[in-house]
């Protein structure tokens, strides 16, 4: 199984992001027709807290036990706003939506989750940079960030009340990934 831990988005944010994804898709088509971009489906939009990767049934059960029914981090509200790309220079590889108010709460959740999983899953080499993935760029094809993001960099998508994290299995297929929730762990009230 291919696993990850995430914060789920609410339907309101997903719908607002759908409009932005459609807008950016049209801009990419117009500005860089040779670009190859895989767009996130609004119903699969989430914030990854910890990528786990491949795990067999035994390891999956250990991960589920480590996450437990609760996470010792307080519930919080998180604002999703702003659009940009990684890396900051050179051809873009990821288009993202940013996180503002409540970001510290998310960093605390990641710290607790990572502490619980460190014995089972090696930590990533890079620091945690929370965001919502809007698209993955396979071939930039001459994309200009300035023209692509003009007028949308400060777009406000809404707020999500974060009261749990979800362990997902990502099932890959030719039609894209399907995210299957395996377990929810509540945050402290």
Q: CB count, 10 Å around CB of 16? A: 19
Instruction: Give me the domain span that covers residue 68.
Output: 2-188
At 134, which CATH number? 3.90.1140.10
Show pLDDT as tens, one digit a residue, over the chain (189 residues). 999 999 999 999 999 999 999 999 999 999 999 999 999 998 889 999 999 999 999 999 999 999 999 999 999 999 999 999 999 888 899 999 999 999 999 999 999 999 999 999 988 888 999 999 999 999 999 888 888 998 888 999 999 999 999 999 998 877 777 899 999 999 997
Domains in the chain, number: 1
- Helix or strand or coil: residue 126? coil
Q: What is the pLDDT of residue 28?
A: 96
Backbone φ and ψ for 48, nearest 5 degrees, come out as -70, 130
| Cα separation values, 102 from 99, 156, 160, Å | 8, 14, 10
Q: What is the pLDDT of residue 189?
A: 75
Q: Where are the beta strands (DSSP E) in 32-155?
A: 36-39, 46-54, 70-74, 76-86, 94-99, 132-139
Asked whether the beta carbons of 171 and 36 are under 8 A apart, the reply is: no
pTM exceeds 0.85: yes
Q: What is the pLDDT of residue 125?
A: 86
């Amino acid at each position: 199984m291919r696993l990850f831990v995430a914060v789920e988005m609410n339907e309101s944010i997903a719908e607002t992001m759908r409009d932005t994804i459609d807008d950016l898709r049209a801009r990419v088509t117009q500005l860089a027709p040779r670009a190859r971009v895989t767009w996130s489906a609004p119903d699969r939009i989430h914030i990854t807290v910890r990528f786990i990767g491949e795990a067999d049934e035994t390891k999956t059960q250990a991960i589920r036990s480590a996450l437990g029914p609760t996470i010792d981090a307080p519930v919080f509200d998180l604002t999703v706003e702003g659009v940009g790309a990684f890396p900051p220079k050179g051809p873009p590889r990821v288009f993202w939506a940013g996180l503002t108010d409540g970001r510290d709460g998310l960093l605390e959740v990641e710290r607790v989750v990572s502490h619980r999983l460190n014995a089972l899953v090696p930590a990533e080499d890079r620091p945690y940079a929370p965001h919502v993935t809007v698209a993955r760029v396979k071939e930039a094809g001459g994309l200009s960030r300035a023209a692509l993001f003009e007028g949308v960099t400060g777009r406000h998508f809404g707020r999500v009340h974060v009261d749990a994290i979800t362990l997902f299995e990502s099932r890959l297929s030719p039609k894209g990934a399907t995210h299957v929730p395996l377990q929810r762990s509540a945050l402290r009230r």
